[in-house]
C-alpha cells in the first residue's frame, strides 16, 4: 500500500567535485568522513531528497473515526464544483406555512452543519446553552419586521443579500429542504425576547477569550514532550537500510539545526512545491538513510516535532522573496480565501480579522491566522495525540464538510507557506498543547 520511492536525487558533477574538495579538507582535520555529507549538502545548498513518488500513503485514507460523508460535489482546495449562487432572491408565490416547533428543533440540530446556535444567540433556543457569536444575536428577530420572503432567502442563501456573508447557503447546498427552511422562518418569527443565560460563560459576548497557560515544554504536562525526549533521539540514531542514520551527518542537531525548522516551509524547485518539515523528513530520510517515514507515520511525527522543538525560540521566517516562493504565497493566499465544502467557508471566513476571528463558534474560539502555527505539532488533549499542521488543515476541511487532501498535497504546501508568512516573527514553542 505504501508507495516506494524509486530514485534518489542525482548529484551533478560540479557538486561531486565540490564534495571531493570538502572531503580533502575533512581528512586534513581528521573529522569523521560522514560529516562530509552534511557539509556537501550545505555547500551545495541542496539537501538530498527522494523526489519520486508521494510522501504519504496512497490511496490516502481518512483517519479512523473521522466523518465519512460524501462532500465531493462541493468545492475543495483542488476542485470548484459547488452549486452556483443564485443571482436574486427567490419570490415567494404563497405564504410559508412553517411549524415553529419543528423549526426550534432544527436550529439546534447539530447534525446539520453544527446548528444555527453555533453562530447565533437565539433567545431560549437550545436552552441558551453555549451559543456562538459569529453571526448577529437573533433573539429579537421576531420584532424586526422582516417578512417571510426576506427570512426565507436569508436562510436559503444569504449571498443574495450580502455577497460577503460567511453564512452557509443552507438551501442552495441542500442541507435544509425548503419545507425545513419554512419551519425555521416560522420559529425565527417567534423570537421576541433576549436570551437568559444560565451563567455568564454561556453568553458568547461576555465569555473571556481562552488563554493557554499550561507549560507545553514540561513533560509532566505535555505528553508530546516524550517524543522529543525519547522517541525522536532514538530514531535519530537508528541505522536505516542504507547503513546511515540521521546522526551520521547531523551529529549535533541541537546546534546545527537550531533555526532550520523556523525557515520552513520552503519552495523546493526539484519537486515544484513548497515542502513543510514533515514532507522534508520523509524525502530527506529516504534519500540518505533509506528509511520510509511517510507523512503522518508515528516516526515522521516524532521527528518533525523534534526538529521544530530544536528551533524553539527561533522566529518563523519563511522565504517568500524568490519568484517561485512569491507565486506559491499568492496561490496560498487565494486558497485561504476559497470557499469550500457544504458549509462554504474559507480559511479567512473563520480566521480573518475582518471576518469571524476572535469570535465564538459554539464553545470554540476562532483564532486569527497569526498565532495558529508557532505551537505545531501540538498535543491535543481531546485527541490524546500529536497533530501536525497538515492534519490540522485536513480536520478544518472535514469539519466544514469539504474533501480533505493527502498531507503532501501541493495545495497544503502553498497554504502552509502563506500561513507561515502570516506568522513571521513569532517564535516557535513546540510541541504545543491545546484542547
Partner 1 sequence: MAERPRIRLPKQANKGEVVEIKTLLAHLMESGQRKDSAGKIVPRKIINRFACAFNGKPVFECELEPAIAANPYLQFSVKVEESGVFTFNWTDDDGTVTTAEERITVV
* 65 forms part of the interface with partner 1 (CB under 8 A): yes
- Choices 73-81, 218-226, 250-258, 334-342; region in contact with partner 1 by CB under 8 A: 218-226
Angle between helical axes of 410-422 and 323-336 (0-180°, round to 10): 90
Is residue 223 within the footprint of partner 1 (CB under 8 A)? yes
Asked if 325 and 417 touch (Cβ cutoff 8 Å), the reply is: yes
- Residues with Cβ within 8 Å of residue 420, at least 6 apart in sequence: 264, 265, 316, 318, 373
Nearer to partner 1, 30 or 64 (CB): 64
> Binding to partner 1 by residue 290, rule CB under 8 A?
no
Per CB under 8 A, does 215 bind partner 1? no
In angstroms, give the least distance from the CB of 238 to partner 1: 15
Nearer to partner 1, 64 or 199 (CB): 64
Q: Answer yes or no whether residue 384 interacts with partner 1 by CB under 8 A.
A: yes
d(CA 425, CA 419): 12
- To partner 1, the closest distance from the beta carbon of 222 in angstroms equals 10
Dihedral in degrees, nearest 10, Cα atoms 228, 233, 235, 240:
150
Q: What is the DSSP string of 261-323?
A: GGG-SEEETTTTEEE-HHHHHHHHHHHHT-----TTSHHHHHHHHHHHHHTTTPBP-----SH
Of the residues 60, 150, 226, 365, which one makes contact with partner 1 according to CB under 8 A = 226
- Options 96-104, 216-224, 309-317, 356-364: segment touching partner 1 (CB under 8 A): 216-224
Site string for partner 1, 229-268 (x = CB under 8 A): -x--------------------------------------
- How many C-beta neighbours within 10 Å does residue 278 have? 32
CB of 78 to partner 1, least distance (A): 28
CB of 343 to partner 1, least distance (A): 25
Rg (CA), the chain: 26
Q: Summarize as ranges the residues that interact with partner 1 (CB under 8 A).
A: 64-65, 219-220, 223, 226, 230, 384
Amino acid at each position: 500500500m505504501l508507495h516506494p520511492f524509486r530514485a534518489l536525487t542525482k548529484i551533478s558533477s560540479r557538486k561531486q567535485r565540490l564534495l571531493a574538495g570538502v572531503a580533502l579538507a575533512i581528512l586534513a582535520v581528521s573529522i569523521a568522513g560522514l560529516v562530509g555529507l552534511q557539509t556537501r549538502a550545505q555547500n551545495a545548498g541542496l539537501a538530498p531528497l527522494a523526489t519520486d513518488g508521494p510522501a504519504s500513503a496512497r490511496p490516502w485514507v481518512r483517519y479512523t473515526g473521522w466523518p465519512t460523508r460524501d462532500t465531493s460535489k462541493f468545492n475543495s482546495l483542488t476542485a470548484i464544483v459547488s452549486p452556483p449562487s443564485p443571482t436574486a432572491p427567490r419570490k415567494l408565490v404563497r405564504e410559508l406555512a412553517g411549524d415553529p416547533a419543528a423549526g426550534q428543533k432544527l436550529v439546534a440540530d447539530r447534525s446539520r452543519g453544527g446548528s444555527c446556535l453555533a453562530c447565533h444567540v437565539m433567545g431560549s433556543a437550545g436552552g441558551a446553552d453555549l451559543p456562538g457569536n459569529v453571526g448577529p444575536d437573533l433573539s429579537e428577530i421576531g420584532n424586526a419586521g422582516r417578512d417571510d420572503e426576506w427570512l426565507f432567502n436569508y436562510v436559503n442563501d444569504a449571498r443574495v443579500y450580502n455577497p460577503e456573508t460567511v453564512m452557509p447557503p443552507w438551501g442552495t447546498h441542500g442541507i435544509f429542504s425548503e419545507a425545513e427552511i419554512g419551519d425555521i422562518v416560522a420559529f425565527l418569527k417567534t423570537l421576541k425576547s433576549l436570551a437568559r443565560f444560565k451563567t455568564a460563560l454561556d453568553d458568547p459576548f461576555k465569555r473571556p477569550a481562552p488563554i493557554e497557560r499550561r507549560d507545553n515544554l514540561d513533560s509532566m504536562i505535555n505528553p508530546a514532550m516524550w517524543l522529543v525526549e525519547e522517541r525522536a533521539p532514538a530514531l535519530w540514531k537508528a541505522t536505516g537500510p542504507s547503513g546511515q542514520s540521521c546522526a551520521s551527518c547531523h551529529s549535533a542537531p541541537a546546534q546545527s539545526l537550531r533555526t532550520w525548522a523556523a525557515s520552513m516551509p520552503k519552495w523546493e524547485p526539484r519537486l515544484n512545491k513548497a515542502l513543510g518539515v514533515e514532507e522534508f523528513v520523509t524525502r530527506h530520510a529516504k534519500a540518505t538513510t533509506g528509511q520510509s517515514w511517510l507523512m503522518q507515520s508515528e516516526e515522521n511525527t516524532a521527528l518533525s516535532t523534534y526538529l521544530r522543538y530544536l528551533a524553539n525560540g527561533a522566529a518563523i521566517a519563511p522565504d517568500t522573496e524568490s519568484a517561485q516562493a512569491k507565486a506559491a504565497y499568492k496561490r496560498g493566499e487565494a486558497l485561504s480565501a476559497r470557499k469550500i465544502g457544504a458549509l462554504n467557508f474559507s480559511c479567512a471566513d473563520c480566521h480573518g480579522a475582518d471576518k469571524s476571528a476572535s469570535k465564538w463558534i459554539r464553545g470554540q474560539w476562532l483564532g486569527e491566522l497569526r498565532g495558529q502555527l508557532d505551537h505545531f505539532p501540538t498535543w491535543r488533549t481531546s485527541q490524546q495525540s500529536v497533530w501536525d499542521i497538515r492534519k490540522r488543515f485536513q480536520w478544518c476541511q472535514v469539519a466544514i464538510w469539504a474533501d480533505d487532501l493527502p498531507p503532501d498535497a501541493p495545495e497544503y504546501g502553498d497554504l502552509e507557506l502563506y500561513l507561515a508568512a502570516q506568522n513571521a516573527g513569532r517564535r516557535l514553542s513546540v510541541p504545543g498543547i491545546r484542547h
